[in-house]
Amino acid sequence: MQRRLFDEMTSPDGSARPAYRHISDWLKWSTLDRLRQRSTEAEVLFRRLGITFIVYGDDGGTERLIPFDVIPRVFSADEWKRLSDGSIQRVRALNMFLHDLYHDRNVMRAGIIPEDVILANAQYQPQMQGFTVPGGIYTHIAGIDIVRVSENEFYVLEDNLRSPSGVAYMLENRQVMMRLFPELFSEMRIAPVDHYPDVLLRTLRGVAPGGAQDPTVVLLTPGAYNSAYYEHAFLADEMGIELVEGADLFVADNAVFMRTTEGPRRVDVIYRRIDDDFIDPLAFRHDSSLGVPGLLSVYRSGRVTIANAMGTGVADDKSIYPYVPALVRFYLGEEPLLANVPTYLLREKDDLAYTLEHLDELVVKEVHGSGGYGMLVGPASTAAQIEIFRHKILANPSNYIAQPTLALSTCPTLVEQGIAPRHVDLRPYVLSGEETVVMPGGLTRVALVEGSLVVNSSQGGGTKDTWILEE
Amino acid sequence: MLSRTADQLYWMARYVERAENIARILEVSYRMSLMPEETREGLSIWGSAVQIGGNWDEFDAAYGTVNRQNVIRHLALDSNNTSSIYSCIQVARENARALRGSITTEMFESLNATWIELSGIDEPRLAAQGYQNFFDWVKERSHLFRGVIDSTLLRDESHHFIDLGDAIERADNTARLLDGKYHILLPSVEDVGGVLDYYQWGAVLRAVSAFRSYHRIYRNVITPERVAQLLILRADMPRSLHASFNRITDTLDLLCGTRIYECRRQAGEIHARLHFGRMSDIFKSGLHEFLTDFLKSQGSFAVQMQRDFLMIA
Amino acid sequence: MRIVVRHRTVYNYDHAIRYSTQYLRLTPRNNPSQRVIRWNVEGQGRLSPWTDGFGNLCHTLVCDEIVNQISVSANGIVETTELNGVLPDDGILPIKVFLRPTQLTQIDSEIRDFVVPYVETARSNPLDAAHELSQALTERIVYTEGSSHVHSTASDALKNGRGVCQDMAHVFIACARELGMPARYVSGYLYTGDEATPQVASHAWAAVWIEGLGWVSFDLANKTCGTERHIGLAVGLDYASSAPLRGVREGGSESERMDVQVMVTQA
């Protein structure tokens, strides 16, 4: 593991990498005091905007501000082309996979993915079988988590195909940066991201059921107590669409309507931010009060579009992840532009044996876990912690996968001691409708604790603005 | 506009108005209880406050004994009583929080500040601060909120639903206050125009901020008939039933546009009774009967309004 | 055999309800053992037909009037053929989907212990294993009306040793899946021969997939395999995904009184 950490800004010879030249100079003449002052201003701005998220666990939920770092993450146009092409390629293949999975299952017939991996997966949704969604698009909004370990090595850590969050931070981070450092924006050519809501709305309107002239799009939220509620309200507001809860919608005459003061109004597209299980109490969890009774029947009749589609979770599950490069080759006949992290499937005997012997080097994750919970980061754990985890693995090996600990790249970050390198990842957002596009940027998450590799906001991670330099 | 949004606006306004009215009800009882007759009338005075402003069974189960302390606790600070001042402000603020996209920042801040201050008040503090001061503070916050709405909120549908909530709740409370007090004061009515009447009806008038108005209009001794007339039929008296229904029908006209709604018809019917009614007729058939009937028709009108605009009930 | 079905469900509420939605899986499909001659579903409110992911013919019934009562009825004639309870697969879903546990058919240690004696047979001769399992379960679980409710699980029924047709099907399905045999839930009707007394509920049984043979039905409540007296309505992973009626309502009080009358007679 004795590998040099790749720093996004500084080359091994101490010079600034090309994309960062300007930032490097800027940091040289910016005093720490000035940066700290800007950082405080940023925090005030975020508080005023009410950008908080809710952390569960302690007791109940508490509202917190995600720490924001004022030093941006920068990519050159060339670097970005590779990342964006790779993300688009991956999402196109995953959409085709989902379509195939719920129709002819050629991928299983061809032996690319074992049947059991899919059919035993609780995210495989039988109710999606045999019906065609508009445009064949299942995951309209996808977030691809990417990490970098060297100049030319990028890995996809995870695909988020259900309802990826965080895009509001991408937009707000940019707003705040433009306010704090207008000079940088005038000196550098940074690709804008502000039009995301516009592109999203166009994407959603583009997948309306056939025949809808001027489609009505709504955003379905679980409500004000959801941890991402701020983002739901923000996006609805930016797109100028209604932010609805389950009780605002109802089904009649094979269509979905929203209750308005002027009577029922037909809804064509539902951008939903609630999970499959809760979306229709008549089809799934009967105790759900968040969903819309009867929605599945209208959906299957092709009279409303749900974005993302139901049953997309089967394609972003950690058990399917190892097969994604093979899916890219199978559906597109292309070589994947972005690689997977080598992954050990602990339900395989050999992989399990190897993993158990190398627990101190590996990252072990629950197949269905998320948010950085239920995982073991070997190199950062004590012997006792490793032993506890060993028992958990042995109790149910197929519930886990393991990956080498990646030396995530670092990016200069303003911390207590001054400016120091901290590990980062990146989530670009891919929108699929009549065309598939990726926003030039995304959400850079940064692990603020020295040496930490966990970037999740629920576990002490912060965010940075992500800049793509135009040529 | 989403029906839920309209519903939340409507209830936010109703609850703020209700909190103000509970304060007014407590105020009138408090003033009456300071009269020399307290020993004789005290219990019924505080009992009637529960009758008007709360739920008798709930009060009985929670406290058992009617006295000043229990009634004020029940109606002002009890979080288990869904129509205490505490609960009303809490619900109104919850609604406002959910409505942050639809109301002005100033509105949320005003209500939020009220809630924060109110949630820090407990019984000892209330007693130390003085009951009258507390009632004044509640009314003041409510007036402030109304003023903030008036000077910051766009005059669109949102405003209309707030107006409806405000006016419906106010009419409801004025009718209940009048009916409740009229009932309790009946035993002493033989002494019409007497000293007792002056203080007791005077307290009612003060509670609806109509003491001065009464004298400006009538320039005469306080009698139950005139008080009733003032609070029922006078369109220029802001808390009267007539004034409330003027607002309700005007607001409905703005909301309905060219569409025809059953609730508009019902509101018109009630309005006509207030607009063309005569006090002598009302007294002939019984004030209590009139008010009971009014509360019933207004209740069914409110349900119909929710059915027509809010797609519920 | 020609079978006439008259199935009526009435919900009564003390307080009026203002809106209700229901999924009705009340229309039989044609298959080698049954042919629908005539069929008609009616309900109070507006009906929209659709087909679910299992291929079941469904209706969505929406009633948005203020009512105290809702009634639903399904009537028709079905011609059945004796196939000894064996049906080919309809090819809609991969058969292995029916290995998946659900909330109502969750496997616990009791179920795991119960199937131990059949593990060997399940490998060498699954059909025998299914018969043995069915036999053992009919001895273990006594058919008792009113001993369970719609959310009762397989494990509840096995523990209590009592249940109705739905519970018996759930236990059988859970055990079969634990033994590696795909199993599905079937709701439907049964011609009992008694034409005078109406039944108080529709019927349900289970079917297991036997490679080379097909879906074999086991009606544990009647200690029999599928017969020409059985009419299948809907299939699913469990009761929740194939219930003949499933609904939600707004308004009404806690209590709901449901009256069901099923008349199954020979034409």
DSSP 3-state of A402? strand
Domain boundary (A369, A387, A404) is at A404
Query: What pLDDT is attached to residue B33?
Result: 81
Closest residue on chain C to A299 (Cα) = C50
Domain of A215? 210-303
Spell out which residues of chain A touch residue B157, defining contact as CB-CB under 8 Å.
261
* Pairwise CB contact (< 8 Å): C97 & A119: yes
pLDDT, one tens digit per residue, over B113-143 is: 999 899 889 988 888 888 999 999 999 999 9
Residue A363, both tokens: 């990252």
For residue A451, the number of C-alpha atoms closer than 13 Å in the C-beta half-sphere is: 4
User: Which residues of A are less than 8 Å from B97 in CB distance?
Assistant: 224
CATH number at residue A373: 3.30.1490.270
Q: Classify A309 as helix, strand or coil.
A: coil
Give B155-184 pLDDT, tens digit per residue: 999 999 999 999 999 999 999 888 887 765
Rounded to the nearest angstrom, the minimum Cα separation between A194 and chain B is 20
DSSP A377: E
Q: Report the amino acid identity of residue B281.
A: D
8 Å CB contact between C73 and C9: yes
Do both A392 and A457 map to the same domain? no
The three-state (H, E, C) secondary structure of chain B, written as one string: CEHHHHHHHHHHHHHHHHHHHHHHHHHHHHHHHCCCCHHHHHHHHHHHHHHHHCCHHHHHHHCCCCCHHHHHHHHHHCCCCCCCHHHHHHHHHHHHHHCCCCCCHHHHHHHHHHHHHHCCCCHHHHHHHCHHHHHHHHHHHHHHHHHHHHHHCCCCHHHHHHHHHHHHHHHHHHHHHHHHHHHHHHHHHHHCCCHHHHHHHHHHHHHCCCHHHHHHHHCCCCCHHHHHHHHHCCCCCCCCHHHHHHHHHHHHHHHHCCCCCHHHHHHHHHHHHHHHCCHHHHHHHCHHHHHHHHHHHHHHHHHHHHHHHHCCC
Domain ranges of chain C: 2-81+245-266, 86-242
CA A24 to chain centre: 29
A245 and B4 in contact by Cβ < 8 A? Answer: yes
Kindly tell me the sign of the dihedral angle through the C-alpha atoms of B222, B223, B226, B227.
positive
Residue A268 structure tokens: 């064509």
Residues of A in contact with C92 (CB under 8 A): 129-130
Could you state, in order of their start, the residue ranges of all structural domains in chain B?
Answer: 3-310
Which of A85-89, A132-136, B66-70, B203-207 shows the lowest mean pLDDT across its residues?
B203-207
Chain A residues with CB under 8 Å of B100 CB are 50, 233
Does residue A448 fall inside a structural domain? yes
The whole-number pLDDT of residue A2 equals 45
Q: Measured between CB atoms, which of A105, A124, A294 is closest to C62?
A: A294
In angstroms, the CA A179 to CA A184 distance is 10
Chain C interface disruption, residue of A116, A129, A285, most C CBs within 10 A:
A129
Residue B306: closest CA among chain A residues belongs to which residue?
A261
Q: Compute φ and ψ for C263, nearest 5 degrees.
A: -110, 120
Quote the pLDDT of residue A62: 56
List the CATH code of the domain at C86-242: 3.10.620.30
pLDDT of amino acid A60 = 41
- The ipTM is 0.93
Chain C residue with the nearest C-alpha to that of A283: C241
Give me the pLDDT at residue B31, please. 82
In a domain, A109, yes or no: yes
The alpha-carbon gap from A188 to the nearest alpha carbon of chain B, in Å, equals 35
Judging contacts by C-beta atoms under 8 Å, the chain A residues touching residue B310 are: 259, 261
Instruction: Quote the number of domains for chain A.
Output: 3
Residues of C numbered 48-107 whose beta carbons fall under 8 angstroms of chain A's beta carbons: which are they?
48, 50-55, 58, 60, 62, 64, 92-94, 96-97, 99-100
In a domain? residue A2: no
In the structure, what pLDDT confidence band is assigned to residue A58 with cuts at 50, 70 and 90?
very low
User: A155 and A82 in one domain?
Assistant: yes
Interchain proximity A300–C60, CB inside 8 Å: no
Are residues A105 and A130 both part of a single domain?
Answer: yes
What is the CATH classification number for the domain harbouring A281?
3.40.50.11290
Which residues from chain B sit within 8 angstroms of residue A51, using beta carbons?
A: none
B214: nearest Cα among B187, B194, B234 = B234
Q: Kindly provide the residue ranges of all beta strands, DSSP E only, lying in A208-262, ordered along the sequence.
A: 217-220, 242-244, 249-252, 255-260
Q: What is the pLDDT of residue B54?
A: 74
* CB atoms A105 and C248 under 8 Å: no
Terminal CA-CA length for chain B: 18
Note the pLDDT of residue A1. 42
| Pairing of β A141-150 and β C214-219 | unpaired
Residue keyed to tokens 């009577």: A263
Q: Between chains, do C94 and A250 touch, taking CB under 8 Å as contact?
A: no
Same domain assignment for residues A432 and A450: yes
Residues in chain B with pLDDT values less than 70: 36-43, 183-197, 312-313
Q: Does domain C2-81+245-266 have CATH number 2.60.120.260?
A: no
Residue A388 CA: distances (Å) to CA of A378, C34, C225: 12, 57, 49
Regarding whether A375 and A429 lie in a shared domain, the answer is: no
Between C52 and A399, the higher pLDDT residue? C52
Considering just the CA atoms, what is the radius of gyration of chain B in Å?
19
User: Is residue A9 situated within a structural domain?
Assistant: no
